[in-house]
Structures are given as C-alpha cells and as structure tokens.
C-alpha cells in the first residue's frame, strides 16, 4: 500500500512531435527537474524525416531520420535525460495517422513509465503545426485513457496510472513580440514557419494571462545551448539561432513558460502561480 512516507518514483514524461521540439521553451525546465533527481523521458512521435539538412555532409534524405534520432539521443544525453523513445510516425503526416493508435501508444508509455508530470504542446501547437496539434490531442486522450488498466509498451497489461500534473508548453505573445523585435533589429524577418504554420501570426503563441508556470533557467544556459546545437541538421548557416549574438538567443531562453492544464489554476489566483514543473511534488529518494 502506498503511503505519504513512500513517495512515488520521480518521473516526468515530455511528449512531442519532432526531434528538437524539446529544446524550445522546455529543455531548461526539464533540465531543472533532471538536476534534482527526476528521471526525464522524452517521447517523440516522429524521427523528423521532413526536416532540414543544414549541411549536406551531415545527412541525405535517406539518412535524415536516423541522423535526427541520434541528434535527439545526444541532446538527451547532454541534458541528463533518460534514453528517448521515438515512435517513427511520418514527419508532417502525424495528423493523418490513426489517432486512436497514436493516443494508445502514448497511453502505453504512461502506463509503463508512470510519470507524475506530463508535458506536451499547447492546443495551437505554438504556431499551428498540424503535427504539434495532433500530439497535443493524442497526449490529452492518452492521459485520460491511461487512468484505466491497459497495455504497457511491452504489450503486457498494466494497472492504470494518473499523472499528478499535466502541462502544455507556453510561448507568451509578449516574449514572441520581443523575439521578433530582436530578429528585425538584426536584419532577419519576423518569425515565420512557412507552410507548416497553420495559424495567423496574431494567433501564434500563448496569451500571457494563461501562463501558470514561469521557470527561470538562465543559469542552465551552457547545457541547454549545447543540447540545442546537438540538433546539427536543423541549425546551419542562416539560422538566426546560429547567426545572432549568443547573448540575444540566451535572453530569449532565460525563462521557460507553461500552462498547467491539470490541475487548473484556482479562479482568482494571480498567475503565474508556480516557478517549477515539480512544484508541490515530493522527490523520491
């Protein structure tokens, strides 16, 4: 029988669509948890096979999925996370996949890993990327399904599991406006995600008043910067993350923001109401 003196294992599961999704607005807060002894798992629905190839010596169209999988594995090693899980859905085709199967695979991971905290994209996927929206929906469906007994990742039947907290990533619109001002000042266009941007520029990001959780992470910069740059195929010449002065990029990533979906904030509470994804949870020894 579980008692308050027998804390549950300290496990966090972050569920994303593409290798490198974990780096933006999330990796610092996850690293903060990892440094305190939380086991951090990243589950990535695709291997990023439709991504860029910044340098043709790094990958070909045929090898890109394998190269990006290894980039994610290296990023997780640099951050002290557990080995990531990659589901190998097609990059750019997640919304067209069988959504029940996708949610079932995420639910199986939840029953296997038994995370106390789950993190995924917000409902608009940040900038309306159809893959991000699909993994958001699948993760919410999976959290609900995993409360009941069902299959684990190895196919065996496991008891249900209910995470203590569920978070969506938050990209405050005020922070995006500052980022755009920096980009324009340095001669880059404002944020534009091309044909994968599924919503208008004004709808991108998160209304500031929804942010429940602001995690200061500037002190973790060297490790998260190294992890971001481990995704070498995505960050080549011309990319603002490579071209801009490091201090500018560091400033963008000084605080990681989230929207706590469950439990939701108490009405009337001033937000943000916490500064850590693990706030209020015990650490297992």
| Smallest separation, CB 192 to Zn ion (Å) | 15
123: left (phi over 0), alpha (psi -120 to 50) or beta: alpha
The one segment of 10-18, 55-63, 70-78, 206-214 that binds Zn ion by CB under 5 A: 10-18
Q: Tell me the window of 9-17, 136-144, 145-153, 212-220 that interacts with Zn ion (CB under 5 A).
A: 9-17
Beta bridge partners of 13: 41, 118
* Angstrom distances, CA of residue 86 to CA of 21, 98, 219: 13, 17, 29
Q: Which of residues 13-32 bind Zn ion (CB under 5 A)?
A: 17-18, 21
* Beta carbon of residue 224, minimum distance to Zn ion (angstroms, whole number): 17
Specify the length of the chain in residues. 285
Q: Report the nearest approach of Zn ion to the CB of residue 207 (Å).
A: 21
Q: CA–CA separation, 285 vs 226, rounded Å?
A: 29
Closest residue (Cβ) to Zn ion?
Answer: 18
Q: Which is nearer to Zn ion, 89 or 278 (CB)?
A: 89
- The nearer residue to Zn ion, 11 or 54, going by C-beta atoms, is 54
Residue 137 tokens, joined? 């929906």
How many residues at the interface with Zn ion, by CB under 5 A? 3
At closest approach, how far in Å is the CB of 194 from Zn ion? 13
180 preceded by a cis bond (ω within 30 of 0)? no
DSSP state, 221? H
Binding site for Zn ion (CB under 5 A): 17-18, 21
């Amino acid at each position: 029988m579980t008692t308050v003196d027998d804390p549950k294992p300290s496990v966090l599961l972050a569920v994303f669509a593409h290798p490198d999704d974990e780096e933006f607005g999330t990796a610092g807060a996850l690293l903060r948890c990892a440094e305190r002894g939380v086991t951090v798992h990243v589950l990535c629905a695709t291997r990023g096979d439709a991504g860029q190839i910044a340098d043709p010596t790094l990958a070909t169209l045929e090898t890109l999925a394998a190269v990006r999988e290894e980039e994610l594995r290296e990023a997780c090693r640099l951050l002290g996370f557990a080995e990531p899980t990659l589901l190998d859905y097609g990059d750019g085709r997640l919304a067209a996949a069988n959504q029940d199967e996708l949610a079932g695979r995420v639910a199986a991971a939840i029953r296997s890993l038994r995370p106390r905290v789950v993190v995924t994209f917000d409902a608009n996927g940040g900038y309306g990327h159809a893959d991000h929206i699909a993994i958001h929906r699948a993760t919410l469906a999976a959290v609900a399904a995993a409360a009941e007994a069902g299959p684990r990742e190895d196919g065996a039947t496991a008891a249900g599991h209910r995470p203590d907290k569920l978070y969506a990533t938050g990209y405050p619109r005020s922070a995006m406006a500052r980022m755009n001002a920096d980009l324009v000042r340095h001669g880059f266009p404002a944020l534009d995600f091309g044909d994968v941007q599924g919503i208008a520029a004004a709808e991108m990001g998160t209304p500031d008043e929804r942010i429940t959780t602001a995690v200061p992470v500037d002190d973790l910069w060297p490790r998260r910067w190294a992890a971001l740059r481990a995704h070498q195929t995505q960050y080549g010449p011309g990319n603002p993350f490579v071209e801009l002065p490091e201090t500018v990029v560091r400033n963008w990533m000084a605080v990681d923001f989230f929207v706590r979906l469950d439990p939701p904030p108490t009405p009337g509470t001033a937000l943000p109401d916490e500064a850590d994804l693990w706030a209020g949870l015990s650490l297992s020894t």
